[in-house]
A = this chain, B = another copy of it.
Amino acid sequence: MAASASRKQESRERLSRERVLASAIRLADVGGIESLSMRKLGEELGVEAMSLYNHVSNKDDLLNGMIDAVFAEIESPSLEEDWKTAMRTRGLSVRAALLRHPWATGLMDSGTTPGAATLRHHDRVIGCLRGGGFSFAMTAHAFSVLDGYIYGFAMQDKALPFDTPEDTGAMAAAMLARFPTGEFPFLAAFMREHVLKPGYDYGDEFEYGLDLILDALERRRDEV
């Protein structure tokens, strides 16, 4: 009692893989992936960095675990609903997860040793498309174009150097100011006439593209 009370109360519960992963995700959410180091993570947990290696085999394993935790947050596509609404919901759900965890964007498809939640997610996506009448070949096409788009869009959105409309204006001006007037006429007009108009938000583009692809897939479903 006295002994346990004398220790720093905060983070002195026993370490576990789950606690390590949760802490790492919080750190990456707040400060970005580049601010996540084994040493800082240890500090966050009130422990030396080296203790982490008892719960995670190295930093790569840590990242894999974090990714799988993100997939676990995404509800797997339903096998009851019709494929198109299920795939639409799932697309929006992945995007929402990547907005919560932008650091995961480049890593979701990092391939090596996917975790259980990751495999389950992919299993359900394939099951949903097969159940919707897609051949194996068409399932491969659909999977590829949908996930390519979903992750690629997230990457672009994340990389965008402006988060607010005010930033957008400043950025656009700075970008074009570095070059002779008229050197990039189409880009300049596009900025002026579209991007800088009030109400523009790049994030809004996501659904347009998702629906465009889903419609196109529906049209091609019965080919080949």
Residues of A bordering B, CB below 8 Å:
106, 109-114, 116, 119-120, 122-124, 126-127, 130, 136-137, 139-141, 144-145, 147-153, 155-156, 159-161, 175, 179, 183-187, 189-190, 193-195, 202, 205-206, 208-209, 212-213, 215-217, 220
Q: Complex formed: what's the CA distance from A1 to B78 in Å? A: 76
**CB-defined contacts of A202 to chain B, threshold 8 Å:** 144
**CB-defined contacts of A205 to chain B, threshold 8 Å:** 140-141, 144-145
Tell me the smallest distance from the CB of A34 to a CB of chain B, in Å.
12
In chain B, what residue has the closest Cβ to A79?
Answer: B186
A124, A153, A185, A209: most-surrounded residue (chain B CB, <10 A): A209
A147, A183, A212: most-surrounded residue (chain B CB, <10 A): A212
Tell me the smallest distance from the CB of A145 to a CB of chain B, in Å.
4
In chain B, what residue has the closest Cβ to A119?
Answer: B184
Q: Is the interface of A mostly helix, strand, loop or mixed?
A: helix
Q: Complex formed: what's the CA distance from A160 to B217 in Å? A: 23
Given A119-B187, A184-B119, A190-B126, decide whether A208 and B141 contact each other with a Cβ distance below 8 A: yes
Q: Complex formed: what's the CA distance from A116 to B145 in Å? A: 30
Q: Complex formed: what's the CA distance from A110 to B158 in Å? A: 9
Tell me the smallest distance from the CB of A11 to a CB of chain B, in Å.
31
Given A124-B186, A152-B149, A155-B155, decide whether A220 and B209 contact each other with a Cβ distance below 8 A: no
**CB-defined contacts of A137 to chain B, threshold 8 Å:** 194
Tell me the smallest distance from the CB of A108 to a CB of chain B, in Å.
9
Q: A147-B156, A213-B213 are in contact. List 19 more A-B contacts (CB 8 A).
A: A106-B106, A106-B155, A109-B159, A111-B160, A119-B184, A123-B185, A124-B186, A126-B186, A126-B187, A127-B186, A130-B190, A139-B194, A141-B205, A144-B206, A145-B205, A145-B212, A145-B213, A148-B152, A152-B155
In chain B, what residue has the closest Cβ to A147?
Answer: B156
